[in-house]
Amino acid sequence: MKGMIFDLKHYAVHDGPGIRVNVFFKGCPLHCLWCHNPEGISKKAELMLMPNRCARCGDCVRTCNYGALSQKSDGEVVADRSKCTLCGDCVKVCQREAIEIVGREVSVEEILNEVEKDRIFFDQSGGGVTLTGGEPLFQPELAEALIDSLHRRGIQVALDTSGYASEEIFLRLARKSDLVLFDLKVMDNTKHREHTGVTNELILKNLKAIDDSSGPPIWVRFPLIPGVNDDQKNLEQMAEFLVELKSVKMINVLPYHKGGVEKFHRLGRDGEFKVYEPPSQERVDSVMNFFRAKGFKVKQGG
C-alpha cells in the first residue's frame, strides 16, 4: 500500500493530546482561500522554490534539460512549471535545499518506520500519530491501512479532517480513530462554496452521523478568518449546531496567520489564494468567550 504525503513532522504538540507525529497527506478536495498548507492541495508532486535559501549560483538553471528554470536579473530563480517534468535533477544539484519536490510516494511501512522512532514519547505523553494534510480521507486506502497498522502496534491515532468524504468512508475511518479533529469552516453554504470550493452539506451530515453513531471524541477546529466566518451570525449558527453533538469535547479556535503566504509564492501559485488581516488577540478572546458562554470547552490553537 502506497500513497502520497508531503511531510512527517516530529514533536507535533498542537494536533491532539501528548507528543505526536503528524503525517501530512497530499491532496485535498477543498481549496480554502486562506489555506496554511497549500502544498497539501494537489495530489501530485510539485516543484517548490525557497528563494531565502538560494545562493543564486544558477547550478539548477544550467542542469535543467527542459528549460523550466531561469534567473531574474537579481539572480532569483523562477520556474515555468508547464515545462517541468519533476525529474529532480535540480534538487540533486542544489546544495542549499532551495529547490524541493514536495510530495513523495511512500509505503505504510516507511511511515511506520519513521513513526516508531518516537514511540517512547507517545508512551510517556499519551501521544500518537495524527493523520492530517491535505485531507487524509482523500486517500482512504492509505489512511485506513495506516490506522490499522498503527493500532496493531498499540499507537493511538487522531484523524484531522475536513469531513468532506463519502459518508461510508468518513464513518468507517472516523470510527477507527481514537480522536477526530474536525475542521468546521463556515456554516453558510454559499459562503462555504465561495471560500473553500465545495458546499458544506456533506460535511455537516458527516459530523452529525459520526456523533449519532457514538464514535470517538471530537475536537472541532475552527479557523478564524476575519471577514469570512467571524461574524456573529456564523458563530451563533455554529454553536447551535454543535451544542446538540455529545461527542464534541472541545473547540479549538485557530486564528488566521500569514504562514501560508510564503508557501503560495514558493509553489508559484500566489494568484489562487487570498491574504487576510490576522484577527487581533482581543477578537480571538471574544470569540473564545462566546463559545465558552455556550458551555463549550475552548482552546486557542490545537
Q: Which positions touch another protein (CB under 8 A)?
A: 9-14, 18-19, 55, 57, 59, 95-97, 117-118, 120-121, 123-125, 127, 259
> Which spans in the chain are helix H?
59-63, 89-93, 108-116, 119-125, 140-152, 167-176, 189-196, 201-212, 232-242, 259-266, 281-293
Helices (H) and strands (E) in the chain, counts: 11, 13
Residues near 174 by beta carbon (within 8 Å), at least 6 away in sequence: 159, 161, 180, 206, 210, 215, 216
Our CA dihedral for 190, 195, 184, 27, rounded to 10 degrees, sits at 130
CB of 93 to another protein, least distance (A): 9
Contact 224, 281 (CB under 8 A): no
Closest distance to another protein from the beta carbon of 164 (Å): 24
Cβ nearer to another protein, comparing 50 with 204: 50
Shortest reach from residue 297's CB to another protein, in Å: 13
Would you say 55 or 243 has its CB closer to another protein?
A: 55
DSSP-based three-state secondary structure for 77: strand
102 closest CA partner among 161, 25, 35: 25
Return the number of the residue (126 or 227) whose C-beta is nearest another protein.
126
Q: How far is the CB of 26 from another protein (least distance, A)?
A: 18
Nearer Cβ to another protein (117/205): 117
The residue (of 115 and 174) whose beta carbon lies closer to another protein is 115
| Burial degree of 32 (CB within 10 A; 0-12, 13-18, 19+) | buried
Checking DSSP bridges between strand 298-300 and strand 248-255, what pairing results, if any? parallel
Residue 84 has a CB neighbour count (10 Å cut-off) of 18
Q: How many CA atoms lie within 13 A of 188 on its CB side?
A: 13
Q: Taking the alpha carbons of 138, 144, 145, 151 in that order, is the dihedral positive or negative?
A: positive
Nearer to another protein among residue 160 and residue 211 (C-beta): 160
- Candidates 234, 44, 23; CA nearest to 147 is 23
Cβ proximity to another protein, 44 vs 117, nearer residue: 117
DSSP conformational letter for 29 = S
* Residue closer to another protein (CB basis): 67 or 126: 126
